[in-house]
Chain A
């Protein structure tokens, strides 16, 4: 019996929760689970609250086994997981802000998403934010944001520097909190699916897939095979577009604009092909619970093939350009080093984890359809710097091109959408998708009327943002944009 199934067996199993098991556990099992996270015998996959319960999702990296443990807390207090496992801290602070649940024994109780500006803000959230001190001779502080110099999302960074070297970075996020989960409460599946696709614009497909899979799991249905393959096609196009954007933007932040110009062209080609194939450049609202909104047209297929051909012709020369430009490598090699221990501890997904040795990709480790039938490899490196994260993206572009080819060649015929059955009583589902940035997790509970009772969306950035604070230490302030871009965490996905 595995450790996770023992945790589940130690509690009261919730029947209508699919596909992973969920159990309501006592304080002792909850504590054991937190201890297992702290000892790195399991990976923290999610931690969220509702009115009278805290939920903890755990992942076994090796086997891909997932379990959800719930702690009933009618008094709105639960034992802190963050006290034993720091990656849970910000999640617990957000639970306090959004659901009023108090993590007892947590070492950090500062408000997080609540800036004291909501109608129902906690009074203490309005006080000036208590940034952690850094003391030493000649240290100075540099406040940056929330409005940044570039065309990017808002967030505040508080640097403490000694000369040019960053001694400490502390992030302050929450500026783009839109209350998405709150809006989903009591909303229809259709409306909630649209909201899920608007959590993080660059990962709209990944979110829509994770949400649709959670809804389908709750209702106990499967989308038709053709729909699953078309979802994967969209997901790979999204990955390609984002990776091209990122590779160029990272080089641009090292003042190498030539790469940015060329990858920008490739990105635009992918978006235009997506527009022809799925009637939207970002493929927003293309994935719906029950299948996909529209089938792939013959012209769409032609456009995607042409784009893949064009990318295959152009991209190798760009890889060579990156690899042969010493002045560029001088900036990326060694900058923003993320220690593999931290990537493992935080369960960092995507290129951040894989650049620092964490060998996890939901497409392979959790092998959801159609990836269980597709051939691809997951690149991994151990050098953990900006250069490593660029190379992971380069290798993933190559894999995604192959995946697009395979999907187009083997796309099954048949229906692209099923009618969803009415919910037979309350039911719950867990859905996952590997976005370009990492694994997106969606958990939802449907009421007997088919409306959402509670939905939680966990962006991969929750476990990546804190690592940026560690990776920037010892780098010069001027390298922050470069390091930050190589992480490219989501603000909107994190702030919700």
Chain B
């Protein structure tokens, strides 16, 4: 539940998500569930030239299993707290 707990704190922050098919999407994280499925609003696809079919997409639901990276705003992460939360796991 750590990651779920963690990502919950990032709601309404702008994150960049890189999918396993190399598509990178920047958008506002609207919600996340325990499978780390992600809902993004106001999205913007980086390298839009390569994925023109996404040019009119405004929001997305991303299945958690296809996410490779989530790039976060550093200021929104409380590292110490996160460390402690990690220590609590189990």
The answer to whether A binds B is no
Residues of A within 8 A of B (CB): none
